[in-house]
Amino acid sequence: MSDLRYLDTERLDALDAAYFQHRRPYPWINPEGLLTDTGYAALLDTLPDTPLFEEAFGVARKHGQQSHDRYALEYRPGLPLDAAWHEFVAELNGPVYTAFLQRMLGVRRVSLSCHWHYTPDGCSVSPHCDARRKLGSHIFYFNTDKDWDPSWGGETLILDSDHPPKPESAPRLEDFERITPSVAIGNRSLLFARTDHSWHAVRAIHCPPQALRRVFILVIEPGGGPSWWRRLRGQGGY
């Protein structure tokens, strides 16, 4: 294992949990630089290759929502990835990041799973609130100004309405009075808590055929025992 560190602990510690928890329309924050410059560069240079991904296009969603079309890859310790990614996931499952999530979300225990989504031209993420089992998500963006033009889209949208739709529904973007785009270029991430009104989406992307919107997403769930990652390590996985 290398001596490279991926999380910038000073920046994690500097984030204000009270500000996050009282944010409207639900807890969210879009900080810059939660990864060290060297760590971000190492992950950016060794992103998984597209052939490892499964195609997820035209998949029916609950409540009649439009399909979220993309290439998807679930993390598991046995994946043929560069060591940087295995090290990063190990760090995310370590005490520093765990304590950060506990502080920000106001919970005692958390469990993580993670995956990559690569999204091509013409695809979108329709408005949704995520499953009730989740505490929240942390999305790390892996496009830079060298491979992505912001005019192509790709920003996660924070959606707000004076009369929020029920989670079990399929609203359109036009049904929300206020839409706040995240910054999704460079060493940025988006952490948000799941609520019954944590509506978010991504507009249809318009980019060249060779370009892809690339994100790494942590799904945060209540911790009820050893995480999947620790169980797999105990079985000799990573």
Flag whether 3 is in a domain.
Answer: no
Query: Is the confidence at residue 206, as pLDDT, over 70?
Result: yes
Contact 210/147 with Cβ under 8 angstroms? no
Query: Is the confidence at residue 40, as pLDDT, over 80?
Result: yes
Least trusted range by pLDDT, from 54-68, 143-157, 173-187, 224-238: 224-238
Output the domain CATH number for residue 168. 2.60.120.620
Give the pLDDT confidence score for residue 1 in this predicted structure: 63
Residues 103-120: tens digit of each pLDDT:
999 999 999 999 999 999
Domain containing 130: what range? 9-234
Residues 6 or more apart whose CB falls under 8 angstroms from that of 206 comprise 121, 122, 152, 153
Confidence of residue 2 (pLDDT cuts 50, 70, 90): confident
Query: Is the confidence at residue 48, as pLDDT, over 80?
Result: yes
Residues 6 or more apart whose CB falls under 8 angstroms from that of 97 comprise 7, 12, 91
Give the C-alpha separation, 8 to 80, whole Å: 26
Residues 20-33: tens digit of each pLDDT:
999 999 999 999 99
Flag whether 1 is in a domain.
Answer: no
Flag whether 31 is in a domain.
Answer: yes
Of 191, 91, 73, 211, the residue nearest 144 (C-alpha): 211
Flag whether 2 is in a domain.
Answer: no
Query: Is the confidence at residue 218, as pLDDT, over 60?
Result: yes
Flag whether 157 is in a domain.
Answer: yes
Flag whether 109 is in a domain.
Answer: yes
Give the pLDDT confidence score for residue 65 in this predicted structure: 62
Flag whether 62 is in a domain.
Answer: yes
Query: Is the confidence at residue 235, as pLDDT, over 60?
Result: no
Give the C-alpha separation, 109 to 224, whole Å: 7
pLDDT over 90 for what percent of the chain? Answer: 82
Give the C-alpha separation, 62 to 132, whole Å: 13
Give the pLDDT confidence score for residue 71 in this predicted structure: 95
Instruction: Give the count of domains, the chain.
Output: 1
Flag whether 4 is in a domain.
Answer: no
